[in-house]
Amino acid sequence: MKHFVVNLFKTPMFLIFALITLIYALPALGKQAELSRYAVVTAIGIDNVEEENLENPENKFEVSLLTFIPIAEQTFTETYKVISAQGRSISEAMDLAGLHIGREIGLSHVKSVIMNTDLLKDDVSKFLDYLSRSKNMAASTKLLATDSKAKDFLNAVQKLNSESSIKVSEVINFNTNYIYSSDSSFETFFKGMFGPTKVSLVPFLTINDTEGGISVASGGEQSGGQESSNGGGQNSSTTSGQNEEIVNSGDTLIFKDGKLKTMLTGFDMKKINLVRGDYTTGSIEVKDYTDKIFDHANLIFEIFDKSVQYKVKYENGTPIFYINAQMTLALSEVENGDGMVEKNVEFFVVDQKCINALENKIRRSVADAIGIMRDNQTDIVDFYTFMHNSDKKAFNNFLDSLEDREDYLNRIVFKIGVDILSK
Amino acid sequence: MKVENKIKSLTKKLHNSIDVANRVIKKNGVDVGFIYLKSITDNLIFSQAIFEPVSNFDGQINFEILEQIVKANDVSKVEEKEIIDKILKGSVVVMLSNSEEFLAIDILNYNTRAPSEPPTSPVIMGPREGFTEDLKTNMTLIRRRFYSDQLVFKEATVGDTTKTQVVIAYLDGIADEKIVKEIKKKISKIKIDGVVDSYYLLSLLASRPNSVLKQVGCAEKPDIIAAKMLEGRVAIIVDNSPIVLTIPFVFLEDLQNSNDYYINYIYSTFIRFIRLMGIFISVLGPGAYIALQLFHYNILPIKYLITIADTTQQVPFTPFIEILFILLLFQILYEVSLRLPSYLGLATSIVGALILGDTGVKAGLISPPTVIVVAIAKIALYTVPEQSAQVNIFQFVFLVLGAAVGLLGLIGGCIYLLAYANSIENYGAPYLAPFSPFILSDNKDGLFKVPLSEMTERPKSFENENKERMDESSR
Amino acid sequence: MKVLDRSITAWQTGIILFILLFANKILILPSLLYEDAKLEAFLVPIFLFVLELGLIFLFYRIKTKYPSERFSDILKNHYGKFVTYSLYVLILVFFFCKALLLYNVTYIFFRNMIYKDSGNILFLFCFLPVVNHLAIIGLRVIGRTAQLFFPVIIFISLFCICIGFFGINSSPLLYQASINDVFRSCLKHISAFGDSIFLFIFMDKIKIQKGQWKIVFSFAGIAMLFVVTITTVFILSYTYTSFMHPFAIFEIMSYVKEFGGLGRIDIISMVLIIILTYFQLALYLKGFMESFHVIFSKIDNIYSVLTFNIVFVLAVNYVVLNLSKGVIYGETILPYFSIISFVFIPALVVVMLLKKRRKERKK
């Protein structure tokens, strides 16, 4: 035995390791699971405090947390509660919310952050600072805005969560992939803000009080039949007894330098996306088209494939920006005056007239899009980087020649070329 | 001295044990004495081959004649001091009153078990013979696989009281001479009262006897031993033990299984990965689970988090106590089912699985995820049954590590353990070879297994002579 | 208790070199590089690795000239005791500081990510016994264990890189940093490089046959490739917000947070960081021990481990305990120590080699 013990002491590191492990293991016997010490938050809503509700006049923010509360059941139901607290800063409100439920707030599973539009008059980055510093929140957390109270929004989300398998983050994901063509996460917000154009996009969702139940509708009234491929049909779920509706109609808030600049409808965004090369889904509508086959018909084409080329030339220091969009389109819907499908569209071959009409339509849309960007001085497409990278010197000269460097979009001459290939 | 007196003193030396048999007959004035142990000798052979020829002999008997008339082949002259030893090893000792010499005739015989398939290493296809407790049978089983003069058996006796026969078997010209010498030296140095089973030698032959890691290979089947000897290993057969030891040992050997060599090589590669994974899951599973629960809940995906949160909510214990409780419960059930007669086995499984598991969960005493984790870990343990004792220990160690310090502890423990294993060299074989140090040619039969036609060389992880196994022309 | 240092093979040397070159450059370095070098940050490791390769090449030359001698002995013969001892004192401090910085960064990282409620003591208790064990058990065992973990390291790194590719921004990027910015960044972070002097210190323990040098160089090459790729992938996925994300390899993974329902796969990158930190710390301790042994050759080697532990614990508790301090210390003090690896040692070695060549020519 003595020999054995002496042998043990020949490996002191083993003894130390074992000893330390034991020292830590004993308290571990009494340690609660982290899950029962932390509140798992899946969504954060941020509101400003309304004047009349002020308990403490210094409070500025109200934070609502959609929190998972475990219940001792074998059914594995996801039970959520909305917890809210007010505070002078986000962190204070968070701490208070933690106090309210007697647990620490765990942000590692946050999927979305909802901001009330009333907050957005100020610099958004000011109150997003806390969240951006949180190491536990993933950069891919979705950021969205709503015009109603974020707390109400979360309550609606909670109902949605408990009654269907659709999550708001899924709705936003769908947006991201099929409507905006831009990721709308926390990360992209800051990426845009610190990027050369300083423009960031945030999706905008509303809650409508309507009869008929809680539903998720992608593609509201504004866009109507325009979004043929992205209609809300497959995406909505209806249950009776509720009367709130989360509506996602593709509206987008445009921020510049962290400040709210304007709100674009989904329709506007679709136009802007025509100019962006990385966006390939969508549809184009030709209204009131007449030829041998169709009589005053509305033709809706789906974008099958798309590539957009940019080119910049300078004439007397003024940049001329060529946008050449090459698109392959497929006819997806024909709507004549009576709303009947006249011909089998499978074998429809687009003739030159139709192509001209389409080209005009696209050109007009692109011109509209550039108009929107010019009006708001927001370079959503990021012409800046392209021009900077293609000819740094000339572009800097051009910028120097401007009175207001931010106003460069208005000084650029855009030339739009469209090539249509029909499938 | 008279023959009667000689026999008396011998019987006294054997403490008048009841199995000591003796007989003295007078033949033409010459006393002939026989002494032997009834328990380990063949009575029939004694009476027919030894007693009958002597009693039927007419004339003056003397020692030379005695040697001639005995109808046995294993006959030897012995000196007085060797007599007891011979008797104890199953000889009958014959003495004459007109001679001071003694004749020992080996008639050792006892009942042995017939070679059968060992329960620990069954094969789907392949030889089903297993070693028995009888040394001679075991030697036969090995000799039958090598009809060659290269096979060498060397004998040694270990144990002051048991005087157990130990046979060192190796292939001359393949096994490294230095290793054989070292083993002989080590065995000759062993001073112990008794060796009941080969396991006694196992720890005495290891280069680090105190280590938790297994350092000597063992197998119950002659085909495995033959294959290992062909690789240049030395086999050690201990009398009364069906387990044959092999040296040098590397960890990889336990990942290999005799089944692997009798089925498709791709499948055996797959199975070896499964075995390694089994060890990993078994060792790290409970530790990782408890670390996630106590330290890193935020790594779990939300869906799984919800399941765990919902199910653990009702459990009255802290997670660590809960998992310890279930582990202990399992261990108790395991011990009981091992010892219990098979007709009671069904009862324990009902108690264990249905009453303790299912009702425990329903009553809210234990949570289903914990039960699942422990169950998986405990089942995975037996993917490599040869290492199950060690893996069981490490499972517990890593559980404590995970509970105490979380992920850092788990990985630190892994590094510590593997570094420790790497520091062991058994008779020149690095413990974790051929993975570290990495030996490419040995990896042909490592985790990956290549077809037999590719395995042209003997392992390089340890010393052996004549590296070539297969001629290029045979491929 | 004895320190068993036995020779290591070319493969093991390569793998140890890989760990030395790779480990401390994938966590906070890429993000720090962005501060000065912006999107061109990937150039910095390329430039600095060229220097590093130069160092390894010098090692190759001196090792072939003096195959089995100790570096300290060669130095003593050429420059006398004073130069040798003072150089080794510097190397000792260099390894100690690097160990301190590495520990500090890892501590901050894990404290932020998965050990919210655990203190510094727990980390010390986790790291020190294992690292000491590795260091005491000897270079060969470190080499072998590293060999065992190498496939894991490579697999996880490749996995991280592959996952990182999903996060890369496809839109065009604004390249605005000048070559000056890149060089400023190089100088600022030069201290993260230069670990190959470890090879010089353990020259006598390394056994490399003639044809095997390419193994060592290719491991250095792989390490360089990995560091550059990880830096590039990180910078390209986070672009203008790279400075907001200090922990590169982890952030690459956390961008693709939930993967196939498996949950947060960023744990994989954490596993990588833990493994690398254990090994890197052990190698730094080994370097410390060896220099200690050269300076105080009469004292038992175990006391060097003891010294390291005591000073390390004191330093960690009283000098560096938060990231900003650590980074400042890494950016301000440590670059001066890089003079050892990039000026002193190369100069001494080159002069030695030239002398030797001249002697040979005279003969």
pLDDT at A180: 54
Select the residue of C1, C129, C174 nearest A385 (Cβ to Cβ).
Answer: C174
pLDDT at C237: 85
| Cα B337 from Cα A161, distance rounded (Å) | 47
Q: Which residues of B356-386 are buried (b: 16+ CB within 10 A; e: fewer)?
A: bbeebbeeebbbbbbbebbebbbebbebbeb
**In B120-239, at which residue ranges do the beta strands (DSSP E only) sit?**
151-158, 164-171, 217-219, 234-238
Provide, as residue numbers in chain B, all residues whose Cβ is less than 8 Å from the Cβ of A36. 309, 312-313
Provide, as residue numbers in chain A, all residues whose Cβ is less than 8 Å from the Cβ of B314. 72
ipTM of the complex: 0.93
pLDDT at A348 over 70: no
Beta bridge partner(s), residue B15: none
pLDDT at A236: 38
pLDDT at A274: 82
Beta bridge partner(s), residue C363: none
**Token pair 């650590």 is at which residue?**
C326
Measured between CB atoms, does B146 come within 8 Å of chain A?
no
pLDDT at B415: 94
Select the residue of A10, A138, A187 nearest C1 (Cβ to Cβ).
Answer: A10
| Cα A190 from Cα B39, distance rounded (Å) | 92
pLDDT at A55: 64
**Token pair 């509508």 is at which residue?**
A285
A383-402: average pLDDT? 87
- H or E segment to which residue B45 belongs: helix B43-45
Nearest-Cα distance to chain B for A184, in Å, is 21
| Cα A146 from Cα A202, distance rounded (Å) | 10
The C-alpha R_g of chain C, in whole angstroms, comes to 20
| Cα C269 from Cα C281, distance rounded (Å) | 18
Q: Which of A114-118, B357-361, C319-323 has the highest mean pLDDT?
A: A114-118
Burial of B232 (0-12, 13-18, 19+ CB in 10 A): buried
- List subunits contacting chain C, requiring 3 or more Cβ pairs under 8 Å: A, B
pLDDT at A233 over 60: no
pLDDT at A215: 52
Q: Which residues of A140-151 are buried (b: 16+ CB within 10 A; e: fewer)?
A: bbbbbbbebbbb
Percentage of chain A lying above the pLDDT 90 cut: 0
Of the candidates B8, B20, B1, the one whose C-alpha atom is nearest the C-alpha of residue B96 is B1
Provide, as residue numbers in chain A, all residues whose Cβ is less than 8 Å from the Cβ of B416. 17
pLDDT (tens digit per residue) in C67-97: 888 899 999 988 889 999 999 999 998 899 8
Q: Strand, helix or coil at A311?
A: strand
Provide, as residue numbers in chain C, all residues whose Cβ is less than 8 Å from the Cβ of A389. 172-175
pLDDT (tens digit per residue) in A142-168: 888 888 888 888 887 777 766 555 566
Nearest-Cα distance to chain C for B423, in Å, is 6
What single DSSP character describes residue A81? E
pLDDT at A102 over 50: yes
pLDDT (tens digit per residue) in B174-227: 999 999 999 999 999 999 998 999 888 888 888 888 888 889 998 999 999 999
Q: Strand, helix or coil at A309?
A: strand
Measured between CB atoms, does C149 come within 8 Å of chain B?
yes
Stretches where chain B sits below pLDDT 50 are: none
Contact state of C267 with B420 under an 8 Å Cβ cutoff? no
Q: Which two tokens stand for residue A49?
A: 């405090």
Cα-flanking dihedrals φ and ψ of residue A211, to 5°? -70, 155
Cis peptide before B434 (omega within 30 of 0): yes
Select the residue of A8, A40, A136 nearest B305 (Cβ to Cβ).
Answer: A40
What length does chain B have? 475
Of the candidates A256, A251, A277, the one whose C-alpha atom is nearest the C-alpha of residue A180 is A251
Query: If you write DSSP's letter for every residue of B101-113 in order, what string do you get?
Result: -EEEEE-B----P
pLDDT at C158: 93
Of the candidates A208, A212, A241, A239, the one whose C-alpha atom is nearest the C-alpha of residue A222 is A208
Averaged confidence pLDDT in chain C:
86
Measured between CB atoms, does B122 come within 8 Å of chain A?
no
Q: Which two tokens stand for residue A238?
A: 């209806």
Contact state of C174 with A136 under an 8 Å Cβ cutoff? no
Hey, what's the torsion of the CAs at B19, B133, B163, B70, to 10 degrees?
A: 60
Provide, as residue numbers in chain C, all residues whose Cβ is less than 8 Å from the Cβ of A11. 1
Provide, as residue numbers in chain A, all residues whose Cβ is less than 8 Å from the Cβ of B309. 35-36, 40, 68, 70
Q: Which two tokens stand for residue B199?
A: 């396991």
pLDDT at A53: 61
pLDDT at A92: 87
List Cα–Cα distances, B426 to B179, B217, B249, B439, in angstroms.
10, 11, 7, 17
C8-32: average pLDDT? 90
> A216 near A236, Cβ under 8 Å?
yes
Beta bridge partner(s), residue A106: A40
Q: Strand, helix or coil at A315?
A: strand
Measured between CB atoms, does B317 come within 8 Å of chain A?
no
Tell me how far apart the terminal alpha carbons of chain A are, to the nearest angstrom. Answer: 87
User: What's CA B11's distance to the chain center, in Å?
Assistant: 37
Beta bridge partner(s), residue B178: none
Angle at B142 between CA B154 and CA B471, to 5 degrees: 100
- H or E segment to which residue A253 belongs: strand A252-256
Which range (A77-81, B83-87, C219-223) has the least confidence?
A77-81
Measured between CB atoms, does B414 come within 8 Å of chain A?
no
Provide, as residue numbers in chain B, all residues whose Cβ is less than 8 Å from the Cβ of C118. 295, 405-406
Between chain B and chain C, the number of residue pairs with CB atoms below 8 A apart is 99
pLDDT at A216 over 80: no
**In B386-469, at which residue ranges do the beta strands (DSSP E only) sit?**
425-426, 429-430
Measured between CB atoms, does A18 come within 8 Å of chain C?
no
Q: Closest chain B residue to A108 measured between Cα atoms?
A: B298
Hey, what's the torsion of the CAs at C19, C24, C28, C31, to 10 degrees?
A: -70
C317-334: average pLDDT? 67
**Which domains are seen in chain C, by residue range?**
10-335 (1.20.1740.10)
Banded pLDDT at A239 (limits 50, 70, 90):
very low
Burial of A302 (0-12, 13-18, 19+ CB in 10 A): middle
Select the residue of A190, A278, A386 nearest C241 (Cβ to Cβ).
Answer: A190
- H or E segment to which residue C254 belongs: helix C248-255
Select the residue of A138, A140, A191 nearest C241 (Cβ to Cβ).
Answer: A191
Q: Which of A25-34, B349-358, C171-180 has the highest mean pLDDT?
A: A25-34
| CA-based torsion, B411, B415, B420, B424: positive or negative | positive
Contact state of B416 with C130 under an 8 Å Cβ cutoff? yes
> B296 near B403, Cβ under 8 Å?
no
Measured between CB atoms, does A17 come within 8 Å of chain C?
yes
Contacts of residue B244, defined as CB under 8 A and 6 or more positions apart, other chains included, come to B131, B138, B198, B218, B219, B220, B225, B235, B236, B237, B238
Query: In chain A, how many H helices and how many E strands?
Result: 12, 15
Q: Strand, helix or coil at B131?
A: coil
Angle at A89 between CA A84 and CA A93, to 5 degrees: 25
By a Cβ cutoff of 8 Å, what residues of chain B touch chain C? 295-296, 298-301, 303-304, 405-409, 411-413, 415-416, 418-420, 422-423, 430, 432, 435-438
Nearest-Cα distance to chain C for A17, in Å, is 6
Provide, as residue numbers in chain A, all residues whose Cβ is less than 8 Å from the Cβ of B358. none
Provide, as residue numbers in chain C, all residues whose Cβ is less than 8 Å from the Cβ of B301. 258, 261-264
Contacts of residue A22, defined as CB under 8 A and 6 or more positions apart, other chains included, come to B400, B404
| Cα C195 from Cα C198, distance rounded (Å) | 6
Hey, what's the torsion of the CAs at A84, A88, A92, A93, to 10 degrees?
A: 10
Contact state of C244 with A132 under an 8 Å Cβ cutoff? yes
What single DSSP character describes residue A53? G
> A102 near A32, Cβ under 8 Å?
no
Interface test with C, best of A135, A194, A395 (most C CBs within 10 A): A135
pLDDT at A214 over 50: no
Contacts of residue A325, defined as CB under 8 A and 6 or more positions apart, other chains included, come to A274, A275, A306, A307, A308, A309, A362, A366, A416, A417, A418, A419
Contact state of B318 with A75 under an 8 Å Cβ cutoff? no
List Cα–Cα distances, A30 to A33, B311, B370, in angstroms.
10, 19, 17
| CA-based torsion, C21, C23, C25, C26: positive or negative | positive
Q: Which two tokens stand for residue B137?
A: 């049978």
At how many degrees (to 10) do helices C139-166 and C10-22 cross? 50
List Cα–Cα distances, C46 to A396, C67, C193, in angstroms.
30, 30, 11
Measured between CB atoms, does C54 come within 8 Å of chain B?
no
Contact state of B407 with C148 under an 8 Å Cβ cutoff? no
Select the residue of C133, C251, C254 nearest A13 (Cβ to Cβ).
Answer: C133
| Cα A329 from Cα A300, distance rounded (Å) | 10
Which residue did the predictor score with more confidence, A221 or B21? Answer: B21
pLDDT at C61 over 70: yes
Select the residue of B298, B308, B313 nearest A136 (Cβ to Cβ).
Answer: B298
Select the residue of B309, B368, B420 nearest A35 (Cβ to Cβ).
Answer: B309
